[in-house]
Structures are given as structure tokens and as C-alpha cells.
Structure 1
Amino acid sequence: MKKPTLLILAAGMASRYGSMKQIDAFGPNGETIIDYSIYDAIRAGFGKVTFIIKKEFEDNFRSIYDPKLKGKIETEYVFQDFDLTKYGIDREVERAKPWGTAHAVLSAKDTIKEPFCVINADDFYGYDSFKKMADFLINDATDSEFALMGFQIDKTLSEHGSVSRGVCQVDDKGNMTEIIERTKVYFKDIEGEKKIVFEEDGKETALPSDARVSMNFWGFTPAVFDISVELFKDFIEKNHTNPKSEFFIPLVADHLIQNDKATFKVIPTAEKWFGVTYKEDKPIVQENISKLIENGTYPEHLWG
């Protein structure tokens, strides 16, 4: 079977970070978070990496990634833009930013012909995640059987405040039934024990430490593109007057699940996730990567 593709969402403007965090250096020799994801993906069995970027980012990305990836993995670049006609939509809509993650995935609909997974450019997922997803895409994925990496919630939280997390509800077959967005999740000391709670309407509710959450690491076949195009057309008709509306991947997943068109296997991983939203996150990520180099998970010179 053809090797799966890694599709990296890297078109964001990173306004809260203050600069292009997709190409910011986090490793000891200037490595980006994307570098570590691609390194793990190659070891896990992926055969191609596709970057979804803005057209104006292309020269930057090519200068950084093409030299180090040449001969190691096939690369390609696709562009997320405002052109709706490519999806059969005649409307012109004035917006400051594109339409969200599921729209970004659609940017690759004419180039990806094999099973693929979607990840964020600014999230560190760990080798186990890529290996398990590659195995699923090679052996188990069908046009009605997709997947989502399920991270343990306690491996994704910050010690420095609350976060939003999509908590997965899973049936007895290991398939997702829904994602419930909890917008204020945090650690709390309860009777001398560190517990996890989420806050809603001023009320705290405990969550188990091994609850599975989505960190936007999805596995699909190309069948998802045609489905997404139809949903996107409908989404545009309903939201063309809302400049902040976004067409997110979970909207597509929820439609498929609720209409019995596809299942999403929640693949468990115990990997520690970390990522960058604000500049203050950078030293934390650098420290985590340093520890992984010290324990031998990664070489100091990643591509050396």
C-alpha cells in the first residue's frame, strides 16, 4: 500500500504569538516544531509531507525545509486562500482571514490521493502518535473509517492557567460519539491531590486524568474532500455575513458521525503534548525538547 501523507496546517498568522511561530527555532540548532513532527513521521512510515501555507510564506518555507528534507521525504506546498470558486461557490466574501481548519484541509484536495493525517504546525505530538496513526492509515482506514489521536488530558494541560480542550466521548468500540468543547480546564489541588476540573457557568466538574482529548491530529482518506466541499458550500451560505465564522474539522467529523457516514476511531496515546500559543510558551517548549534530547529520544542535530 502507498505510504500515507502528513498534512501540516501552517497557514495561520500567529497573531497571539507575535511572529511566524511555524518557522521559529525551538531546538538547539534552530529546529522548528515542524522539524520534529516530520522527523517522527518519516520514522513512522509516512511517505510525503504537504504544507498548507499562505502563498506569501512559500519562499520562507522552501528555504527552511527543502534543503534539510531533500532525499528524506517527498514535499509539496499548497495554498490556503480566499478563492471560493475552486469549490463551486460563486460568492465573493470579504474576510480578514481564511475560513478555518477544514477549509485549510480542502486546499489539498487536488494533490492528496492517499490516506493522510492532519496536524497543527505549532503542536508537538511525539513519535508514538505518528506511529499509531501511520499504522491505522496503512492497515485500517477506509472511506467510512477515519481516526483521531486521543491524548490523555493530563498530558496536555498547562501548569500556568486554564486551557480549552475538546473532550472526546468514546463508545465501547473505541469510536468517538462526539467532542465536547470545555473552554476552561485546569489543574486544581483538592484535599492535597492534583485533580483536573473544568469550569462552566461558575461550577467546577472533575474530569478523569485519562480522559481523551483532541489536539487536532486526524486521520482520513481522500473521500473526506468531496464530503467537505458539500458541507463547505452549505456553511458559506449560512455564514457569509459573519466575518468571524470558521469551518472547523470537528464540524465535518460531527456531521459524518451524526449521519452514520463514518466512524472515528479514537487512538489512545500517552505521549506528552506541548505547543505554543503565546511567546511565553517558547521557553517551556525549548525545555521539553532539551529533555527529550538528553534522554536520547532525539539527536542533538536532528537532520545531521
Structure 2
Amino acid sequence: MTLLLMAAGSGSRYGKLKQFDELGPKEEFLMEFAIYDALKNDFKQIVVITKKENVSFLNDYLSARLPKDIKLNVLAQELTDLPDGASFTGERKKPWGTAHAVWTARNVINGAFVVINADDFYGQAAYKKAADFMKSDDNAYALLGYTLKDTLSEHGSVSRGVCKVAGDDLLSVEERLKLVQKGDVVLDEDTGLEFTGDEQASMNFWICRPSIFSKIESEFKIFLNDADRIANSELYLPFMIQEMLQAKEITVKCIPSGGDWFGVTYASDKEKAMESLRNKTDKGQYVSPLWN
């Protein structure tokens, strides 16, 4: 089983590269806690997608810490990484998006894999549930969901994918761009829609199969032939999965994570994240330092 961490973001709202901020009790990166939790649940391969300038540093950093029997791939997400026969000659500063980040790993992943954000904490229970699912189901995709009201920030509005489910089947994920707690409800300030807060939210913890790579490649070719999309848009992983779901090419389960999530969207979220990691370490959920 493989854990893929997306660590190519710029952290515009945070003010620096969140992926390499030293939040742990022994100055560990947040992604190290995700890797630690995955290894405790029989994951054997770690893939990190980052910017080209960070590959050498991150490869050396993680290689010095991870057990020697764990396969590590640190890959660069680059604008020049295109499907065979495709070309791009324009100017663009932003990466091609999260789907392209996943596609970057197409040559190193052969089986089921988990995709997460490197700058989010997902809780130990999520990795146990993901591992159990991948061991018991050979075909389905899955989303590990989190209770919406537990994913908000005290320091500003957040964007969340709100899940529609039927039983344990995921029907859709609808992106809501400006969610805030207002009294007893969660309000989307962008649309005026209200939610109870008990809905499942996507925090981008996906269980994928290798079939996702061919889907992304085919969509990427279409994308590259659309001048407007090249200029203003990105390829998003949730959209790819949702298109496959709606076309009945795959089934997607929604699995309540059973754990707590936190992220560092804003610089002011940092202190709370550090306190949470200290508390979890003090309670014995993590050793300190994480790696010996």
C-alpha cells in the first residue's frame, strides 16, 4: 500500500511553505506524522510530490528518517510533464493542479494508494480505516470523510467539499467556498446556503486505484487543447473522481474517518496545530522524536 502526499503548494494564505514548517515537538514537519501513521498500518511506499527545487532536500531529509525497508519516491511536479504527443508553449506560473500532481506518480505506483495533503493532519484512525478498506476491496475508490463543523477555522472562512451520500456510497462532493460557523449552523457566505455541520466533508483523503492515471491523462489532453482553461484553470483530483463516478466507471465509498482533522490554512492556525501535536505526543499517541 502506498501513501501519496501532495506537497507542491505555495502557502499563499499561510505566508510560507506550510509543508516544511516545524510544527512537531521535535520540530517535525506535519507530513511526518502522516507518514508515521501510515507506516503503523502496513503502508510500504511513500510518494511525495513537491516542487523541483525541493526534491533533493526532501529526499535526503526523509531518507535519513524512514526505515530502510520503506520505498521512498520524491517527485517533482513540473509544467513540462505532459502526455505523449501533447505540447505547451505558453507561459504559466501555477502548477497544473492536484490531478496532475497525482499523475506525476504514474510510473512509481502499481496498486491501491491513499492521496492526502501534506499540510493536513488526518488522525490515526483514518489510516487504519484506509488500510482495512484497501485490504478488503480490490476495486472501489473511497473518501475518508470528516464532520463538517469540526473542520472549520476560527480565523476565517474555509473552502470545503460537502459530501452527498446514500448509505456508505458517495454520490457527489459539492465545493463550498466560504464556510463559517454562524450560531448553530454552518453558513456558506458565498451562496447563503446553511448546513447543520454534521455533514461529511472532504478533506482530500482519497483512496485511489491505478485506473485514475489513464483518466487524468485523457482529461489532461483535452485540457491542453482549451486556451481558456490553460490560462485560468487547473485539473482537480476530486473532479476526476466525480466524473468517473457519474459515468459509472467506478464506485466510491464514503468512510467516516473516526478521527480528528486539523490544518494550517492561516498563520494563526499554527499555534493550535503545535499544541495539538504536543498533546497527542504527551498522551503517548506518538513517540518523541518520531524517528530513531
User: Shorter-chain TM-score: which interval?
Assistant: over 0.9
User: Given residue 55 of structure 1, which amino acid in structure 2 is its aligned partner?
Assistant: K
> What number of residue pairs does the alignment pair up?
292
Q: Is residue 185 of structure 1 aligned with residue 179 of structure 2?
A: yes
Alignment of 1:130-145 (within 5 A): 130-142=127-139, 145=140
Q: In structure 2, which of residues 224, 233, 249 is the aligned counterpart of residue 245 of structure 1?
A: 233
User: Given residue 147 of structure 1, which amino acid in structure 2 is its aligned partner?
Assistant: A
| Partner SS for 2:105 | coil
User: Given residue 157 of structure 1, which amino acid in structure 2 is its aligned partner?
Assistant: L
CA distance in 1, matches of 2:178, 2:144: 21
Deviation at 1:204, TM superposition (A): 4.9
Q: In structure 1, which of residues 64, 67, 81 is the aligned counterpart of residue 64 of structure 2?
A: 67
User: Given residue 234 of structure 1, which amino acid in structure 2 is its aligned partner?
Assistant: I
Q: Is residue 166 of structure 1 aligned with residue 154 of structure 2?
A: no
**Residues 80-102 of structure 1 deviation map (CA, whole Å, 9 limit, x = unaligned):** 10114444312323201111000
CA contact (8 A) 2:159 2:178 kept: yes
Indicate the percent of aligned positions where both proteins have the same amino acid: 38
CA contact (8 A) 1:84 1:92 kept: no
CA gap of 1:169–1:123, structure 2 versus 1, over 3 A, is same
CA contact (8 A) 1:152 1:270 kept: no
Q: Is residue 197 of structure 1 aligned with residue 187 of structure 2?
A: yes
Alignment of 1:259-274 (within 5 A): 259-274=247-262
CA contact (8 A) 1:125 1:272 kept: yes
Q: In structure 2, which of residues 263, 269, 273 is the aligned counterpart of residue 285 of structure 1?
A: 273
CA distance in 1, matches of 2:7, 2:166: 32
Larger CA deviation: 72-81 vs 29-38: 72-81
Deviation at 1:148, TM superposition (A): 0.8
CA distance in 2, matches of 1:268, 1:279: 28
Structure 1: which 5+ runs fail to align? none
| Partner SS for 2:198 | coil
Give the aligned partner of residue 203 of structure 2.
Answer: 215
Q: Is residue 152 of structure 1 aligned with residue 147 of structure 2?
A: yes
CA distance in 2, matches of 1:62, 1:37: 16
User: Given residue 83 of structure 1, which amino acid in structure 2 is its aligned partner?
Assistant: T
Q: Is residue 48 of structure 1 aligned with residue 45 of structure 2?
A: yes
User: Given residue 184 of structure 1, which amino acid in structure 2 is its aligned partner?
Assistant: K
CA gap of 1:147–1:141, structure 2 versus 1, over 3 A, is farther
CA contact (8 A) 1:54 1:81 kept: yes
User: Given residue 46 of structure 2, which amino acid in structure 1 is its aligned partner?
Assistant: V
CA distance in 2, matches of 1:241, 1:225: 20
**Residues 207-261 of structure 1 deviation map (CA, whole Å, 9 limit, x = unaligned):** 2332101111111111111111101111222245642311001110121111111
Deviation at 1:159, TM superposition (A): 2.5
Alignment of 1:80-119 (within 5 A): 80-119=77-116
CA gap of 1:72–1:282, structure 2 versus 1, over 3 A, is farther
CA gap of 1:239–1:295, structure 2 versus 1, over 3 A, is farther
User: Given residue 295 of structure 1, which amino acid in structure 2 is its aligned partner?
Assistant: K
CA gap of 1:76–1:241, structure 2 versus 1, over 3 A, is closer
User: Given residue 48 of structure 1, which amino acid in structure 2 is its aligned partner?
Assistant: Q
CA distance in 1, matches of 2:229, 2:154: 39
CA contact (8 A) 1:87 1:233 kept: no
The two structures have a TM-score, normalised by structure 2, of: 0.94
Deviation at 1:284, TM superposition (A): 1.4
User: Given residue 288 of structure 1, which amino acid in structure 2 is its aligned partner?
Assistant: S
RMSD: 1.7
